[in-house]
A and B are shown apart, each in its own frame.
Chain A
Amino acid sequence: MRGDRAFLMILPASLMIGVIAIFPIVHAFRISLDRRMPVFGISYFVGVDNYRFLLQDSRFWQSFLNTAYFSLLSVSLELITGLILAILLHRSFRGRGLFRALVLIPWAVPTVVSARMWEWILNSEFGVLNYLLQQIGLLSAPLNWLGDRTLAMFALILADVWKTSPFAAIILLAGLQMIPEELYEAARVDGAGEWQIFRRITAPLLLPFMVIALLFRTLDAFRIFDLAYVLTGGGPASTTESLSLYAYTLLFQTLQFGYGSTVAVATFLAVLLLSAVYIVVFRRQRHG
């Protein structure tokens, strides 16, 4: 009867997961097969029509590419800066505790607040960034960070890297601290150089943590909404519109629940696929 009781024990948790996680996903998928705009009294089943439309919806593909580009660039930069920060924070120096706390501040600031802050920093007329770059002579005229089609995406990435590098740093710092000091001592006794030590000891032992940071950050970056919503509103000319932002626009601003759900489901599938790839790669890493 132990098996039965075990089932009973996990029942509440499974029920909760069913209610708060699985049901909405299934339901969103169900709605994505409808043309549904309750405000206009429109609600009927259209089958895969929405998906067919999705495939030729240029705004969807643009936001998809925007999101992929943003995720790729911001996550790689975050891991690099995170690693540098983690290595710095791992060394012992005076005031390390204070420094560690300071580094964490961007991560603690709510995204909407930091987005608003960056909006003013990057403002082409009053922004402090343009001012500083002009002062040190890197720029002759102010750059239009948020209103230029190529710069706007960089501005978004910059703000995201600033905000989430500490998160990567914390995970990597935890990894660094797990590496036993004896390994380093033994390597030094054997006459290994700093670069060799990093390559042969630090990097491989840190890899699992890198993968975790990568996984968390990619999934997060792929869902980017609030930063883009506040900082650029998806503009200029939709060059910074992310998938979530597009889905939000469809669902809650134009109230197209059917097609909006289709875009949301597509985003969900993309994220699912991404995590599947990561898990497979990660497994192979561990076993191979």
Chain B
Amino acid sequence: MPRSGVRSSLRPLFGGACWCLPSRRSSLNWGSPKRWWWRRSRSRSAASSWRWRSPLAWAVGTWPESCSNAAFTVRRKRRSGTRSLICSGPGCGVRMTVCRLLGLSLLVTSLVVAVGCAREETVTHEKGTVELVFAHFKVPSPEALTGLIEAFEQQNPGVEVIEEVLPTSTDQQHQFYVTALEGRSATFDVFALDVIWIQEFARAGWLMDLTRRLGTDGLTGFLPGPVEASTYKDRIYALPWFVNAGILYFRKDLLSKYGFAPPRTFKELSRQAKIILDSEQDPDLKGFVWQGKQYEGLICVALEFIHGNGGRVLDGRDSALRDARAVEAVRFMRDLVAVDKVSPAFVTSADEEATRHLFGAGRAIFMRNWPYALTLYDREGSTMRGRVGIATLPSFEGYHSAPTLGGWLLGVNRFSAHPDLAWKLAEFLTSQEAQKVLAMRLGFPPARDALYHDAELNRTNPFILPLYEAMRRARPRPVTPFYLMISQLLQPEFSAAIMGVKSPEQALDDASRLIEHVLKLEVE
């Protein structure tokens, strides 16, 4: 059920920018008749005030269908300790409170209940305090981030930063932002953006243009990959927060047993793996594992092969995938599984975790994965402790390694009520000092070049420096507002190619036609 269409057509009925997630200003004007339920709700949590909302708006807003499968984001106020739930289900964005959830269940049996339930109001202005909302995904240990935010609050008296924690799934976060920003929501000021969303959001006009504020220096000092990802039509729309890139994991013990150095090319990797597999004669040992399930991860891996062979996906508004270099790269991937048996058939259904477990059990010689696995292997009690080596991903002969860029950037909501303060917060959180703290405490690879050579950081976190080459070489996925559509078109085609369902030529030709169809949709 396409909810957003429903919403846009109902909008005139209820007035305001968006009835689903009202902007701060419009919702403040809604008035608050003091009814018994209003008082009761208020006494339950003294810190937030409650407002009345028209019953019909409430009933439509609480569409049970759209929230049934949803994950909820939790908005937490550190000072008062209050929490509220926000539905981030497909096409939703409804703020849920105990009162509404109760009402929702009664609604099914009777319409009467719907008359006037309360709605939480997002802003409470203690005298002179400005509240900034920072929306981000759940970080592994939140104390580091909270510490940074407290430091920001101390530097800027009168500002309280509220963290809004979104579900871990990237898809759900994307849905949440799209729904909210479609309705020009100002309920968050600064938010974390996946590298692949920037173009789409910038084109939609949801991100504040940061070019002028950055001044003449622009994004100097940041790594090239995230800078490219944050630029849309020569304007900068986001600040790189931390980066991620695919790296090669290898069994240090096995490689040194056979006197091999970490491979520089994919052919060399394949050769080394074959030799080791032949000599070890261990049926449980696999050569090279990577993510080949039909999902976003497959795109990341396939692009590493294609970019690492001098190919690319887009050439202006045309697809560049019919190019022989791209075809050769995809054929190589298929042959790893089908012909050379260096990669087990298992990879065609594997995601990051499945490969991480296999390698972690000591059952693979090489693995392509993100750096997150590193700290997990280094844990006390891990069988792989001390046996894992990492290297920059190989490439094809004559080309540079081209790991796929991942990572997050901070953007400022174009509709924010406090653009200056929001900018300040984003700038603070992406500063050298902040990125250093995040790297030391959470192991997030910094987006600033200089930090990789920071002596203190390298002492506390020895994994940072070996990642430098990979992070510097990291290449974004096709930088276009239509990336998510292109990714969805490519996933089944790449999957078909590595499964041998289609020949690489056929799969890439089919993909090219679909991509060109999508890119023609753009109406300037």
Contacts and interface: CB of A to CB of B under 8 A. Distances in A.
Contacts of B94: none
Interface in A1-54: 12, 15-16, 19-20, 23-24, 27-28, 30-31, 36-42
Interface string B507-524: 000000000000001110
Contacts of A175: none
Interface string A231-251: 011111110010000001101
Contacts of A27: 2, 5-6, 9
Interface stretch (A92-100, A140-148, A161-169, A276-284): A140-148
A147 B491 CA distance: 14
A90 interface: no
Contact of B204 (A15, A28, A31, A41): A41
Interface stretch (A72-80, A204-212, A257-265): A257-265
A279 to B, nearest CB: 24
Contact of A147 (B2, B203, B347): B347
Interface residues of A, number: 51
B5 A31 contact: yes
Interface in B320-356: 344-350, 354
A149 B501 contact: yes
Nearest to B517: A53
Residue among A20, A252, A257 with the highest chain B CB neighbour number at 10 A: A252
B204 A40 contact: yes
B2 A233 contact: no
B98 to A, nearest CB: 22
A135 interface: no
A264 B1 contact: yes
A61 interface: no
Contacts of A261: 2, 5
B484 A40 contact: no
Given A27-B6, A124-B346, A257-B5, A236 B294 contact: yes
Interface string A215-237: 00000000000100000111111
A42 B174 CA distance: 19
B182 A39 contact: yes
A252 B91 contact: yes
B91 A12 contact: no
A28 B1 contact: yes
Given A126-B361, A147-B348, 16 more contacts: A27-B5, A28-B5, A30-B5, A31-B5, A39-B182, A123-B354, A126-B357, A234-B492, A235-B348, A235-B495, A236-B293, A238-B496, A249-B488, A253-B484, A253-B488, A257-B5
28 contacts: A19-B59, A19-B60, A23-B6, A27-B2, A36-B5, A38-B4, A38-B8, A39-B182, A40-B203, A41-B523, A124-B344, A124-B345, A146-B293, A148-B348, A149-B501, A232-B349, A234-B492, A236-B496, A236-B499, A237-B492, A238-B496, A249-B488, A251-B2, A253-B488, A254-B488, A255-B484, A256-B485, A257-B2
